[in-house]
Amino acid sequence: MNYKEMNEVLGKLDQALLALEEMYAESEGEITEQTAEVEQQISGLQELLTTEGIDLLGRWLKGKEDRKKALKAEKDYITRQMSAIDESIDFIKVKINQVLTATGQEKVKGECGYAFKATTSLTTSVDKEVLKTLYEEKAREAFTAFHIPAYIGYTLTASSTKAQEYGLLDGDEELFITTQKPTCTFTKPRANKEG
């Protein structure tokens, strides 16, 4: 059985059920030779749908689930590759910064047009343990005070950008961690515009 055949069987079953209902209405619920034949036909169609039809749908569903699983594995593989490439890029930029520092140059341009300028990368992150210690209980109390039901959740976050904009409260100084890392800006050679 294929999908088209299954739909045809479903259509025949609907027609047979409707016909049987009309027959019983006309015969005032009496079982006749004709109703018995239609009931037999309905039983056969139902049997076909619950055997070959179910197998068809089962194979189709399994195929889709298997395809999704394969795509997820491929996506995860590509994500790992991209992560490894990011680590290599960071490593190369640190090396370029080291070369510039060792040669006493702030920027340099190679013979093939690649140019680099030494910089320092500043990254600010939230110390999640400090955030939790300082604000988790306060957030829970606020939820309770405003009668927010237990099935409504929240995620505790902090923004270093907003902290710079509005300033930190006393006691929040350890909430953000800033790390510095030597790196560089990178300019690639460009081709002439076709025109």
36-85 residue pLDDT tens: 999 999 999 999 999 999 999 999 999 999 999 999 999 999 999 999 99
The pLDDT score that the predictor gives to residue 158 is 95
The residue segments making up the domain with residue 47 are 3-64
Whether 163 is covered by a domain: the verdict is: yes
Last residue of a domain, one of 32, 64, 96: 64
Please indicate, yes or no, whether residues 177 and 116 belong to a single structural domain of this protein. yes
Please indicate, yes or no, whether residues 44 and 99 belong to a single structural domain of this protein. no
Please indicate, yes or no, whether residues 139 and 182 belong to a single structural domain of this protein. yes
Task: Average pLDDT across each block of 10 residues of the chain; the chain has 195 residues. List them in order.
Answer: 92 94 89 92 93 94 97 98 97 95 95 95 95 95 92 93 92 94 94 81
The pLDDT score that the predictor gives to residue 27 is 87
Task: Provide the number of structural domains found in the chain.
Answer: 2
Please indicate, yes or no, whether residues 121 and 182 belong to a single structural domain of this protein. yes
The pLDDT score that the predictor gives to residue 194 is 80
The pLDDT score that the predictor gives to residue 55 is 95
Whether 157 is covered by a domain: the verdict is: yes
Whether 78 is covered by a domain: the verdict is: no
Please indicate, yes or no, whether residues 100 and 179 belong to a single structural domain of this protein. yes
Whether 122 is covered by a domain: the verdict is: yes
pTM passes above 0.75: no
Please indicate, yes or no, whether residues 95 and 156 belong to a single structural domain of this protein. yes
Whether 50 is covered by a domain: the verdict is: yes
3-state secondary structure 169-186: CCCCCCCEEEEEEEEEEE
Whether 116 is covered by a domain: the verdict is: yes
The pLDDT score that the predictor gives to residue 195 is 62
